[in-house]
Chain A
């Protein structure tokens, strides 16, 4: 009777002569990271439920090049970027949504200089739109109801692109108590993974940045730490483990929280 979830690729749709409204850019973490795949799956389920016309690039997607560029390797970044732009322009992509703020920043701000011009939005903004338009109706009675939740700003969403309210609006729609950390929004403290730090050990110091940030999140008394970035998710999850609080404190992406509330 009921149908299965669908994950159409751009190639399949092009084969049928169709063009989706929006390309869901999954990103490397969304494709390969064991934990973050759940976020990709949750977001795809939401898109299916709402009936958004979307497609993914599937095996045709490649890293945006963000970590290579931040680590100084401009050649490698541009090789990745130009190849991705060729693929996207080939499919005449107009609009891109992604759950990764690094992909978001790169495609939105850095691809235009290389010939890739798209309307790019982060999944927090997309979810906010769906909620505002009434396409996603939240029951607010799920596992988050009345609970204390704190939101950790991702640098590449917040300071880098001035998106502070969309993720908060999404969380508030869940009928929860949103508690802010002392360093939030423009003053938000990095999780420690940006600028290609995700891919190497930290430089010598007296503490790991994710532990510092996790301590601040725990100090709010929140039992859920909400994030909107795959790297932040990893760093905060590791931080919670480091503080041995994984039994009572969970780290979730916004899409997972919405999907849970929708019962999918």
Chain B
């Protein structure tokens, strides 16, 4: 009989682990729908970038208030998860507060710290909900945030609040039970924050307290496991993906566009410049530029899954600020949603990428692509080094080279450049005319 809770716990743990591993495989496969790209150079800089940007939250601090609130949740998440280890061991072994006898006063101090962080997380989540629903921070009100993205964000904050309330409730009832000498319960030193809510429970019977304590314990641990599964369906994946995402950051100058060697080969052949590849033509030249997610690099797709939809990119985008359709955040959400769609289709035995849809057209329009000034404000703003510009420019390459679908004024610019070697229609022989005036002046 007494083994029943342990059995149930192990079963729940197993089921959660199984679902999580399935989900991780699904996400991994979706990310690798993107093209292969090797980005392992300068490993020292990569670890440093990850330490500063992901672990150290460096770029969050460009906006101090959300940065501080987020820091509380982040530290709370990391530290409170240490306690989850004890939860899991207690669940498996059928013990209660396994570590307490070994740690003594240190355990009480640790519990007080956890409680402080639980309150801090609770506080931050309430402020974040306020920012979304009361003060209505503008970047959370954009069109791409309607529906599931807004619900997703709200669910995350509410779940976190409930989980923190469960921890505090558990500690409060646990200590009342311990003081009343109930079996298995250990009296710790004074716990400050749960102590504040103890009056709510003081008048209750042992049975009621025991029920609440157990309920809170189970709710907290099952809740955490369920939340871990939920995260894999959610924008909240950034809590894990921020780390690899920053490790694989673009370390080159932001202004540099990646070269297309397949084009270089053709250009060299046209200009009669001998090249290595000319004599040994590559087996297959794929599409020029990106029409769908499999034309993008896997790093672009990982970027998309790392996006937590904070919208700092969009709030700094000059096109978006002046009412154009482009929103860098939407670009990232579109890439992720398309990867999800293709992944689900493949798993259901469906057509996958060959479903007659594509990222360009069905998700992202030319109008959005054409509004970008390539100013890198979005790239600079992203707290986890996501690069929406890379995706926009790859898609522009597809539009220009595979569809010849660039705006008429750009086509005219191309023509000028082909015939006059300048984006404007001037005669190349007039290029040096500016010097005439200077040469006539005395020094």
Contact = CB atoms under 8 A, between A and B. Distances in A.
B8 to A, nearest CB: 53
Interface in B239-276: 252-257, 259-260, 263-264, 266-268, 270-271, 273
14 contacts: A28-B423, A31-B422, A45-B441, A68-B414, A70-B374, A73-B406, A74-B263, A75-B263, A110-B259, A155-B377, A203-B325, A207-B322, A212-B321, A212-B322
A209 B424 contact: no
Contact of A82 (B255, B267, B376, B421): B267
Interface stretch (B45-53, B127-135, B392-400): B392-400
Given A44-B438, A59-B428, A110 B410 contact: no
Interface stretch (B173-181, B330-338, B340-348, B429-437): B429-437
Given A5-B441, A59-B432, A156-B255, A72 B322 contact: no
Given A44-B435, A78-B264, A206-B323, A71 B413 contact: yes
Given A5-B438, A160-B376, A196-B413, A73 B253 contact: no
Contacts of A58: 431-432, 435
A199 B409 contact: yes
Given A72-B399, A195-B372, A203 B318 contact: no
Chain B interface size band reads 35 or more
B323 A71 contact: no
Nearest to B317: A190
Given A31-B434, A59-B428, A192 B257 contact: no
Interface in A58-113: 58-59, 61-63, 65, 67-76, 78-80, 82-83, 105, 108-110, 113
Contact of B373 (A65, A155, A186): A155
A45 B434 CA distance: 13
Interface in A148-198: 155-156, 159-162, 186-190, 192-198
Contacts of B288: 74
A94 to B, nearest CB: 20
B400 A71 contact: yes
B284 interface: no
A40 B434 contact: yes
Contacts of A67: 413, 417, 423
B257 A69 contact: yes
Contact of A5 (B326, B421, B443): B443
Contacts of B441: 4-5, 45
A30 interface: yes
A63 B273 CA distance: 20
Nearest to B381: A187
Contact of B375 (A28, A33, A190): A190
Given A7-B435, A190-B373, A195-B374, A72 B417 contact: no
Contacts of A72: 289, 393, 396-401, 406
Contacts of A68: 413-414, 417, 423
B263, B267, B323, B433: most-surrounded residue (chain A CB, <10 A)? B267
Contacts, number: 240
B438 A192 contact: no
A134 interface: no
B439 interface: yes
B437 A41 contact: yes
A30 B441 CA distance: 19
A62 B423 CA distance: 10
A133 interface: no
Contacts of A156: 255
B443 A197 contact: no
B426 interface: yes
B319 A70 contact: no
A42 B49 CA distance: 42
Nearest to A65: B417
B312 to A, nearest CB: 11
B110 to A, nearest CB: 40
A201 interface: yes
B373 A113 contact: no
Given A63-B423, A160-B254, A197 B418 contact: no
Interface in B57-112: 62
Closest 7 CB pairs of A and B: A160-B255, A72-B400, A195-B374, A206-B323, A72-B396, A62-B421, A190-B375
Nearest to A183: B316
Contacts of B256: 105, 109-110, 160
A4 B371 contact: no
